Chains A and B, each alone.
Chain A
Amino acid sequence: MSHARVEGPSLRELVAAVALDANRTVGGGLVSIELLRRRFTTRGWLDAVSHGVFIAVSRFTPGTVVLAYCVMLGWRFHRWRGALLGLTVASVPASLIVYVLAATLARIDRYAAVRTLLAVGILVASVLVLASAWHLLRPYLPRGARVRLLVVVAVAIALVLLGATPVRVLLAAAVVSSLLPIGNGGVRLQPDSLKASE
């Protein structure tokens, strides 16, 4: 995996990519994040390390996860302009649709065809969410990182089963992982890979 600084998208490319990927699926923002990851990594704009960190930070950011992710994408490539434009195009289309639906429709789920379409859309979305999880875990599969992976996964699953909130699960994972021996099990984050490309 290369940590070389990559050429980023122009502001126009960034806005177009976020507008398209953040506003074309049902099932929530996690699906949009996976679509954004695919587009940005395919074009060489984002590496897996930065994506992982963006996911981690967005999970710790209050509010809607995908909006925090889009803010960081914009910030990385075009600082405040990118962050604010990314946030705007990621949120305005869905908000307008919600506004129109709230203002015009009584109950959209009374139509069987609508319910079926939604269910199929959500099923597809769930596959994308699971694919996103796989891409996050894959860098930790090599032997040097497996102990960390197994321990943190075990802790996270246990806390989820105990009903802990996501933030508590993440905090516990951070503490446990930081207490594990560093050695070659400490994975691959490099400061350069997180810096803005401008």
Chain B
Amino acid sequence: MNAAVIYLLLLKATMTSFAGMGSLPQIRQDFVETRAAISDQQLSQAVLVGRATIGPMGAYVVAVGYYAGGWPGAIAGWLAMITPALVAIPLLILIQRWVHLPRIRAAVDGVIIASAVLLIVSGGTLAIDAVQQLTG
């Protein structure tokens, strides 16, 4: 598969997800079901490799790119992984401009508190998963 197509398909998946593995359903739809560029087994392998590796779990898209298009595909996967992160800069600039408004401050406070709740859920899920692996 062409590296540019891989980049655009993976970018579609990463730009519409908000966590490392959140892009998985879209990637499966595009690469396994629609285009048959990789198999379900390869996708599982990519997820496993991403999870077993240091750093962000989202790096599994590099493996997806590799399976779909060799090393050019891996580079396309890396680019698709890092591109959405640049959206953080305009978001941060907007927050800087508006944070003096009390209601905006309160909204950001709410997001921070809810982020902590989501972290607790993620941490709990990780811990349960690890204990099951150790005991099972």
Interface residues of A (CB under 8 A from B): 22-30, 32, 52-72, 75, 83, 87-88, 90-95, 97-99, 101-103, 105, 107-109, 114-116, 118-120, 122-123, 125-127, 129-130, 132-134, 136-137, 140, 145, 148-149, 152-153, 155-157, 160, 165-167, 169-170, 172-178, 180, 182, 186-187, 189-191, 194-195
Within 8 A of A (CB), among B74-127: 74, 77-78, 81-89, 91-92, 95-96, 99-100, 102-124, 126-127
Contact A30 B119 (CB under 8 A): yes
Number of B interface residues at 8 Å Cβ cutoff, please give it: 76
Mostly, the B contact residues are helix
Q: How far is the CA of A176 from the CA of B110 in the complex (A)?
A: 7
Residues of chain A contacted by B95 (CB below 8 angstroms): 53, 56-57, 194
Contact B53 A177 (CB under 8 A): no
Among B1-9, B28-36, B57-65, the stretch that binds chain A is B57-65
Nearest CB of chain B from residue A113's CB, rounded to whole Å:
12
Residue of A nearest to B18 (CB): A167
CA A177 – CA B110 in complex, angstroms?
5
Contact between B78 and A95, CB atoms less than 8 A apart = yes
Q: How would you classify the secondary structure of chain A's contact residues: helix, strand, loop or mixed? A: helix
Chain B residues contacting A59 (CB-CB under 8 Å) are 18, 111, 115, 118
Cβ–Cβ contact A126 & B124, under 8 A: yes
CB nearest to B66 among chain A residues: A102
